[in-house]
Structure formats: C-alpha cells, structure tokens
C-alpha cells in the first residue's frame, strides 16, 4: 500500500466530505503530510515538512462538529474520558488533538467543551530506526542496558523507543534472544492503543499498560507482568525517579526518553540529574534533528563518557 493510499484510508476518511476534497487537492504533497489543522473561523491548515500551508477555506463550527462526530462514530458520549485528555487515538495510531474550553472540578479536568480546534497528526512508523543503535544497548548476556534517550521535541525519540521495543521483544539474531518488554504508555503515543489494541508494531513479547501514570505503571508492571525491560516515554518528574529506582533494584532494565539538548544539559535538570547521579542508566543517547530526525548526536555510558565504538548514522527516513 502506498503512503498516499494509507493516508487516504486511515486519516482522510475521518474528515467530512467537503474537507476530504480540500486535502485531496494537495496532490503529491499528501504523502508528506504531517498534520491537518482545523481552527474555527480560520483557514484550514496543513503541516508539511518545513512549512505550514493555509488553505482558502474558513473552517466552520459545522466542520468541527462533523469531524468530531465522524471520529467518534457518532458517540461523543463514549469518549468523555479521552476528551479530558484532549486527544483521541484513531485506528492506525494517528492522534487527534483537541482545543476547547475545559470544565474543572476540584482542580481536575472534568470535560472539554466548545471544541474549537482539531489537530489530526499523521503518525508514521519507522521500522529499523533503532537498527544501528541497538548493538550498543545490549549486554553481552543478551539483556538490555538501562538507557536514557535525550533530545528536544521532534527529534524522533518516540519513534526510536517504539522500534527498540519491537526489536528487543522480537529478538535479533546474534544480539538478543527476545526479551519480555513492558511499555508504560502514559500518553498513548508509543503503542497508540485504540480500544486496547496497540496500533503500532511493538513486538511479539510486549505488554502495554495504556494511559497509566508512569510512576504507578512501572511499579504495577514489575509486580504483575515480570518484564525484563520497561520502556517509557518522557520521564522527568521527581516521582518518576523513585519508580525508576525501584525498577533498577528489581533488576529490570529501563529504557526511557526525556527532553534535554544533550547529556551535559540533562545533568542540569533536577530530576534527571538525580537519576544520573544514582547511576540508574548505563547508556545515554542524545538525538538531533539534522540531517533528519533520529540522528544520534552522542552516545555515552552512564557517567557521560563517550563509548569507544562510534555509532554509525541511524537512518530514520521512512
């Protein structure tokens, strides 16, 4: 299936008829489409690599209402909880972010009303994104090193983690026989579960705890699912430190990502600094966006000393 067909089948069908035509008008650009943005009363916008395209169509309240209805299959009532997180996940793992007015109760978001913005993010899987990195993260015994992946947003951390999960769980001849992997997917981005089914290939021996707060999820995983590796996105809160310590002491390797420009930068962040000081990680990997997302900028051991073997370029282009 070509990329164009895939986008048509998985994304465009969730739009109302009149918007479908506008997206189709993109022509060959459709294949690189990253986001479709609806903002009430403002032009329909497309995000393409390196540019934001505005289309000559003012998005109406009806467009947004219809889009929501189609995405929820006419069941807005059934997604109340998801609306509180301001996003929905489509089959295929595409994310729909929502903007509106939040209704608060005791400081918690109870509902999202008067939705005035919809952002359809087209997600792409990059099998093989972790190919070159994986050998550096495997112990001689076949287990995994605890690893922290660092980069600013948009450098391919999530894509990398997902492919690491897949390869670790499936096993790779000569490196690892295949490990029990547990994914704690707080923001439903790694496995992109839709009705409990992972929409992304996360491997044969992988369990997913979907929508679960990281710290709680890590503890639950260790207790009940006996993973050999736990993979989670965006650590960085103080409570995460304790959960990670728990995992380390239980002999479970943790592969996590965090926002930071590089290894030295990470030391400055209070929570990350503490994790590094505690020696939680044996490998630190920093990514950069140039020449393309997923490029490894540096890879060091847990103390920040560069590894002797250099890492070849990670090719992450789809």
Partner 1 sequence: MTIKLVGAIIVVGASSILGFALAAPFAQRPRVLRALQAGLERLETEIDYGLVPLPAALRRSARGLAFPASRLLETAADELETGDGLTAGEAWTRSLEHWDRESSWNAEDREILGEIGGWLGSSDRENQKRHLRHVLDRLKYQEALARDEQSRGERLFKYLGVLGGLALAIILL
> Which element (helix H / strand E) includes 123?
none
Residues in Cβ contact with 42 at an 8 Å cutoff, skipping those fewer than 6 apart: 58, 59
Q: Choose one: 64-72, 150-158, 296-304, 310-318; the region binding partner 1 (CB under 8 A).
A: 64-72
Q: Choose one: 48-56, 72-80, 166-174, 210-218; the region binding partner 1 (CB under 8 A).
A: 72-80
Q: Choose one: 11-19, 223-231, 287-295, 302-310; the region binding partner 1 (CB under 8 A).
A: 11-19
Shortest Å distance, C-beta 10 to partner 1 = 12
Q: How far is CA 139 from CA 113, 134, 169, in A?
A: 50, 10, 15
Count the site residues for partner 1 by CB under 8 A: 18
Q: Which two tokens stand for residue 12?
A: 């465009």
Shortest Å distance, C-beta 90 to partner 1 = 13
Q: Choose one: 10-18, 141-149, 159-167, 209-217; the region binding partner 1 (CB under 8 A).
A: 10-18
Map the footprint of partner 1 across residues 102-141, applying CB under 8 A: 111
* 318 within 8 A of 124, measured Cβ to Cβ: yes
Residue 8 binding partner 1, by CB under 8 A? no
Considering only 29, 31, 65, 246, the residue that binds partner 1 (CB under 8 A) is: 65
**With respect to partner 1, which residue has the nearer C-beta, 115 or 254?**
115
Shortest Å distance, C-beta 71 to partner 1 = 10
Shortest Å distance, C-beta 194 to partner 1 = 12
> Which element (helix H / strand E) includes 140?
none
CB-count burial class (<10 Å; 0-12, 13-18, 19+) for 249: exposed
Residue 73 binding partner 1, by CB under 8 A? yes
- Which long-range contacts link 109-113 to residues 24+ away (Cβ below 8 Å)? 109/84, 110/84, 111/80, 111/83, 111/84, 112/83, 112/84, 112/86
Whole-number Å distance between alpha carbons of 180 and 210: 17
Considering only 4, 6, 66, 292, the residue that binds partner 1 (CB under 8 A) is: 66
Whole-number Å distance between alpha carbons of 129 and 162: 9
Considering only 80, 91, 306, 318, the residue that binds partner 1 (CB under 8 A) is: 80
Shortest Å distance, C-beta 74 to partner 1 = 3
Q: Choose one: 9-17, 127-135, 145-153, 258-266; the region binding partner 1 (CB under 8 A).
A: 9-17
* 74 within 8 A of 81, measured Cβ to Cβ: no
Residue 91 binding partner 1, by CB under 8 A? no
Q: Choose one: 63-71, 116-124, 141-149, 253-261; the region binding partner 1 (CB under 8 A).
A: 63-71
Q: Which two tokens stand for residue 67?
A: 């889009």
String of contacts with partner 1 for each residue 17-56, x by CB under 8 A: x--x------------------------------------
Residues in Cβ contact with 159 at an 8 Å cutoff, skipping those fewer than 6 apart: 124, 125, 126, 129, 293, 294, 316
Q: How far is CA 97 from CA 94, 130, 142, in A?
A: 10, 27, 39
Which residues here bind partner 1, judged by CB under 8 A? 13, 15-17, 20, 65-66, 69-70, 72-78, 80, 111
């Amino acid at each position: 299936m070509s990329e164009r067909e895939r986008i048509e089948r998985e994304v465009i069908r969730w739009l109302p008829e009149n918007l479908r035509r506008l997206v189709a008008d993109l022509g060959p650009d459709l294949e690189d489409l990253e986001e479709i943005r609806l903002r009430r009363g403002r032009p329909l916008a497309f995000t393409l690599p390196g540019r934001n395209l505005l289309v000559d169509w003012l998005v109406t309240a009806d467009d947004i209402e219809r889009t929501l209805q189609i995405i929820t299959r006419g069941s807005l009532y059934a997604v109340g909880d998801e609306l509180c997180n301001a996003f929905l996940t489509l089959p295929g793992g595409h994310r729909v972010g929502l903007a509106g007015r939040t209704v608060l109760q005791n400081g918690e978001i109870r509902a999202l009303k008067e939705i005035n913005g919809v952002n359809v993010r087209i997600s792409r899987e990059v099998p093989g994104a972790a190919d070159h990195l994986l050998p550096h993260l495997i112990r001689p015994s076949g287990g995994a090193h605890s690893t922290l992946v660092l980069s600013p947003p948009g450098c391919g951390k999530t894509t990398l983690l997902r492919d690491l999960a897949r390869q670790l769980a499936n096993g790779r001849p000569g490196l690892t026989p295949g490990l029990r992997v547990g994914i704690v997917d707080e923001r439903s981005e790694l496995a992109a579960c839709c009705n409990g089914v992972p929409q992304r290939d996360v491997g044969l021996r992988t369990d997913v705890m979907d929508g679960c707060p990281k710290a709680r999820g890590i503890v639950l995983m260790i207790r009940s699912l006996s993973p050999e590796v736990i993979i989670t996105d965006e650590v960085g809160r103080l409570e995460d430190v304790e959960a990670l310590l728990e995992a380390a002491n239980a002999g479970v390797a943790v592969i996590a990502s965090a926002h930071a420009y590089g290894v030295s930068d990470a030391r400055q962040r209070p929570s990350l600094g503490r994790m590094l000081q505690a020696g939680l990680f044996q490998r630190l990997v920093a990514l950069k966006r140039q020449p393309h997302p997923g490029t490894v900028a540096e890879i060091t051991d847990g103390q920040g000393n560069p590894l002797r073997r250099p890492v070849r370029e990670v090719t992450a282009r789809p």
